[in-house]
Amino acid sequence: MPKINLDKERVLKLTGNKIGDEELRKTLGFLGTDVESITKNEIEVEIFPNRPDLLSEEGLGRALKSFTGKEKGLKKYSARKSDYKVIIEKSVGSVRPHTACAVVKGLKLDEKKMEDIIEIQEKLHVTYGRNRKKCAIGVYPSENIDFPVSYKALPVEKIVFRPLDSKKEMGASQILKFHDKGKEYAHLLKGKKHYPLFVDGKGSIMSMPPIINSEETGKINKKTKDVFVECSGHDFRVLSKALNMVVTALSDMGGSVYEVELVNENRKTPELIPEEMYLDKEYAESLIGRSFSDNEIIGSLERMGFGASKKGKSFKVLIPCYRTDILHQADLVEDVAIGFGYNNVGEENERPETPGKEDFREELKEKIREIISGHGLVEARNYNLSNKDFQEKYFGRGRIVGIKNYLSEEYNSLRYNILVSLLKALKVNKHHDYPQSFFELGKVFSKDSSEESGVKEEEALGVVFCGVNANFNLAKQHLDSIFSLLGLKYELVEGKDVFMIKGRCGVVKFKGRNIGFLGEISPGVLVDYDLDVPVSGFEIVLDDLFGEF
């Protein structure tokens, strides 16, 4: 979780309240922060990942102002109409296809506010933007820019500009090799023949996202009053929310927000209209464990910065445009409890004693986890989702469980095995040093008409080794160790698997049943995962082992 240092005087000024240190510490804890220290001049806090909107003094001050009752309810933001345009060209479609943009005017910047803007930008990059992979943010002095701006991609060899904090022009490849930011984020553009650019109406390169701004057009200073803000990435909703967090903070600094037309996408940003969600009263009461009056629920939501009104047996809730953590009404229930005050909820009715113990399956998984961790492997936690077309390529049609109404092509099916997830983990970590070794304990799914749901669900263990010494023997040594320490015996017979190299693959048998496979990953699979070093591993289904404990 990111730690930030905030100007205490400024935060309190934004809240409009005089709050003592102890009350401030307690209140900040409710809002989704962990207070490290409060001094005379500073507040050092750790922001929880689900509340990136609190990463600025403006965002935290806004939340405190509402929570303490100084200005409860939904704070409304709006963007003024304008003629600003950003032309999105088809060439960015295969690189970083989307952007969301805005212009903010009338800022009165000083050294501290400049630092705040950079701080917001960088903290959002690390957290919400997943180190710029999901979202990269650029802020530019708009007086240096001629509109319309174009968002396009050009061949690598044709890109030359002077990057931020550089004394000379550099080619795109040079920037990735020699510039500090280029070296840090080069992996995000690896393998691409075209790089994305923001270019103004005069043809001047403004930036090469997600890497670096231009020195000429992308550096704000104390004289900057008007700024152009852009967010680029792969998911428009993520970008829109990131843009909203930035421009609402700039608005609270005294700026006026102006919309930008995204040509060829038929939309204008920022989209500052609050989203609507309905909260069922009985559902809220069942989760919290007590009954509420209508006014208590409305008042609690308003303390958390929502708009709320009664609609029949439910409540219509207006969600602030900068909140990213409200995905289900359960999230609203959590904020009702926070706004009402956990201390005010009261004790639950005493429940009868129901002695319990840890499930034996969990005990076995924990033992396996300790064994493998002792070998120096890193545990991975992946989604139970994968890409259907990719899985059918290797495991055949009729086995993969697809998902209806999926939100992303990348995650449109349940995973058939764990190795598909671990290979992806190797892919996203290839910019780190080798060797790398991961393991995961998790669920795998396959179609099975004998099951009531038509889907068979099993617990499995997957292990991968990546590096020059990743071979059949290395994988077998680790599998031998696991079974030996569990006091069990397995059999390894020659096998054939589309994932593995022929002649370097074995089937794992336990008491005569096939429970998995082991071997070296085939070159074709490595190419599909953009891996250029050897990988070996194994995967076993644990359900048959559970009966032994």
At the second CATH level, the architecture of 360-546 is 2-Layer Sandwich (3.30)
pLDDT in tens, 201-235: 999 999 999 999 999 888 888 889 999 999 999 99
pTM of this structure: 0.67
- The region that residue 530 occupies, defined by phi over 0 for left and psi between -120 and 50 for alpha, beta otherwise, is left
The yes-or-no verdict on residue 310 having pLDDT over 60 is: yes
**Boundaries of every domain in the chain:** 3-67, 85-269, 291-342, 360-546
CA 224, CA 213: separation in Å to the nearest integer?
16
- Are the CB atoms for 531 and 499 separated by under 8 Å? no
Q: Which CATH class is domain 3-67?
A: alpha beta
pLDDT in tens, 430-482: 888 899 999 999 999 999 888 888 899 999 999 999 999 999 999 999 999 99
CATH fold match for the domains 3-67 and 291-342: yes
Q: Would you state the pLDDT for residue 539?
A: 93
CATH of domain 85-269: 3.50.40.10
Statement: residue 280 has pLDDT above 80: yes
C-beta atoms surrounding 130 within 10 Å: 13
Helix, strand, coil: what percent of the chain each, to 5?
Answer: 35, 30, 35
Whether 51 has a pLDDT exceeding 70, the answer reads yes
> What's the rounded Cα separation, in Å, for the pair 339 and 185?
40
Single out the residue of 188, 148, 173 nearest to residue 430, CA to CA.
188
**Is it the case that residue 295 has pLDDT exceeding 90?**
yes
Q: Which CATH class is domain 291-342?
A: alpha beta
Q: Both tokens of residue 480?
A: 């031998």
For position 497, what pLDDT does the model report?
A: 76
